[in-house]
Amino acid sequence: DGGITQSPKYLFRKEGQNVTLSCEQNLNHDAMYWYRQDPGQGLRLIYYSQIVNDFQKGDIAEGYSVSREKKESFPLTVTSAQKNPTAFYLCASSTGTGGDEQYFGPGTRLTVT
């Protein structure tokens, strides 16, 4: 079955540590995205990538980094520079051409104490 997987579902870290969230898709989609969602809020775009080896900052990229070495994978690193990292992180992908339909992974809930 095609889809997007994110791991782990829950992640706990101590303040000051970097942490990498995994996102893999087997939909053969060119475009991939990372969003952050805080309780009761909408989704805010962190980074997006339209093709391999290329990515663009979204509205809240500070304190985050990404890589896109393979079409299937778009990992997100939450660095110690991110002031309020505790949030629900969602990865998504799309064909990148018209229609705007994004397919979302199940999300990773990160708690930093």
Partner 1 sequence: GQSLEQPSEVTAVEGAIVQINCTYQTSGFYGLSWYQQHDGGAPTFLSYNALDGLEETGRFSSFLSRSDSYGYLLLQELQMKDSASYFCAVRESYGQNFVFGPGTRLSVLP
Tell me the DSSP string of 23-40. Answer: EEE-S--SEEEEEEE-TT
Smallest separation (angstroms) from partner 1 to the CB of 80: 26
Tokens 């309780």 label which residue?
A: 39
104 binds partner 1 (CB under 8 A): yes
- Determine if 1 is a binding residue for partner 1 (CB under 8 A): no
Measured from the CB atom, the residue of 80 and 107 that comes closer to partner 1 is 107
d(CA 75, CA 72): 10
Sheet of strand 4-7: strand arrangement: 4-7, 19-25, 76-78, 64-66
Interface with partner 1, residue 27, by CB under 8 A = no
Cα four-point dihedral sign 4, 76, 85, 58: negative
Instruction: Identify residues 33-92 at the interface with partner 1 (CB under 8 A).
Output: 33, 35, 41-45, 48, 50, 56, 58-59, 90, 92
Binding site for partner 1 (CB under 8 A): 31, 33, 35, 41-45, 48, 50, 56, 58-59, 90, 92, 94, 96, 98-107
